[in-house]
Structures are given as C-alpha cells and as structure tokens.
Chains A and B, each alone.
Chain A
Amino acid sequence: AQKITQTQPGMFVQEKEAVTLDCTYDTSDPSYGLFWYKQPSSGEMIFLIYQGSYDQQNATEGRYSLNFQKARKSANLVISASQLGDSAMYFCAMRDFYNNAGNMLTFGGGTRLMVKP
C-alpha cells in the first residue's frame, strides 16, 4: 500500500518570501506519479505540478517547483515569492494503479499555508 505524509499541518510565510511544503511518500512500485494540489476555502482542487518517478529534472510551473529527492522518497513543493492568494490548503498526492482496475490518487493529510501581508 502506498502512503503519503505531510508533516506540517500549518505554516505561515511572509508575503514575497519563498516557502517549502514537505511531502514524503512510501511505495514499492518503480513507476509512480506525484502531484501537488491547492485547495482554497471554496473547495476546488487546483492542480499545481506533477513529477514522474522517471523524470530526470525537477518539475517547475511558474512560481511552483518540486524538489524531488527519489532516494529519500520526498517531493517537497517550493513556492517562490508568496502572494496573499496562495493562502490555502495544499495536498501532496500519489497516483496508484489499483490492481489493474484503474488508477486513483491517494492524498496526504495536507498543509494549511497562511501568507502574512
């Protein structure tokens, strides 16, 4: 079974500063995908960034980058130049192939990020 762990229930960051949200995972599958989602209070899950287990480069999407350390099984999200609109819940998730019946996302417990002006 796969497991995703986010050890920071809540974090504060000053506006315009960078912040790192931690995510560690556990899997025995050689092929897997890691995702980060943002969930504002409205409830929608917004896709931020994806990292495949065979990707050689760390993924980047605008102000978001993923610090992928495969040997440590960590996939930390780095947000540069934080904005007030970044205040939200952030989930790390892993794609899991379910007994060849399809695939699903398994989520970590989430980190609530609060950006201070």
Chain B
Amino acid sequence: DTEVTQTPKHLVMGMTNKKSLKCEQHMGHRAMYWYKQKAKKPPELMFVYSYEKLSINESVPSRFSPECPNSSLLNLHLHALQPEDSALYLCASSQDWGNYGYTFGSGTRLTVV
C-alpha cells in the first residue's frame, strides 16, 4: 500500500459547525503533515507530527486542531472556521529523516460558508 487516503474529498461547512478531516497511511511512515493550499498558490505547512507527537505548528489558529491517534492516522478538527479558511487541505507522510520522498493524499476541498 503506497497511498495516503484523505476523507472526505469535498466538505462544505458553516462557520458554526464542527467537522474533521481524516488522513490514513499504511506505509510505515513515521512523519505526517498537514498542508493548506489556496487557489493558485503553493502548499503551506500547517502541522508536522513525528512519531505521533506534534513537532511543528506553524502558528496556525486554534480553530484548527490536529490529532494523531496512532502512527497510521492523522486528523484535523475544524471549529468556528472563517470563509478565508476555504482551501485545499493536503495530508502527506514520509520517513522521518533523510532523503525520502513525501507521499501526498489527494486532498480535501473545504468550503466555509
């Protein structure tokens, strides 16, 4: 299994809703990442989990809450989002160190209304 699976593929939510994005990989990778990508822009790092511990938080607002329940799963909990949070959210995984490739999921397209 050489894939990163993200669900849902599309999500529309109101500003008062609570929702979660899910990411799963079974490649034995020990680092997992959340990236945010606005239209026509490059992906921007949000969070890094290394060996199931949060190692990098790129000053992301608290309305985004990551969780890594085990080495294969990564969640992003969403609460009280703003319309400007509408974007493509990409999950990726990699071996923790060294010259290893990063495998990305196909992303969740989030629209906040």
Which of B18-26, B75-83, B102-110 contacts its partner? B102-110
- Chain B contact residues, majority secondary structure: strand
Q: How many residues of B contact A (CB 8 A)?
A: 27
Residue B56 contacts which of A45, A47, A101 (CB distance < 8 angstroms)?
A101
Q: Do B107 and A33 touch (CB < 8 A)?
A: no
**A42 with B106: CB separation less than 8 A:** yes
Interchain nearest-CB distance for B100 vs A (Å) = 9
Residues of B with C-beta under 8 A to A103: 31, 48, 94, 96-97
Please classify the interface of chain A as helix (H, G, I), strand (E, B), loop, or mixed, using the class held by over half of its residues.
strand
Nearest Cβ in chain B — how far from A35, in angstroms?
A: 7
**Known A33-B99, A35-B101; contact A104-B107, beta-carbon cutoff 8 A:** no
- Residues of B bordering A, CB below 8 Å: 31, 33, 37, 40-43, 45, 48, 50, 55-56, 88, 90, 92, 94, 96-97, 99, 101-107, 109
Measured CB to CB, the residues of A under 8 A from B are: 33, 35, 37, 42-47, 50, 52, 91, 95, 98, 101-110
Q: List 8 A-B contacts (CB under 8 A).
A: A44-B104, A45-B43, A47-B102, A95-B99, A105-B45, A107-B43, A108-B42, A109-B42
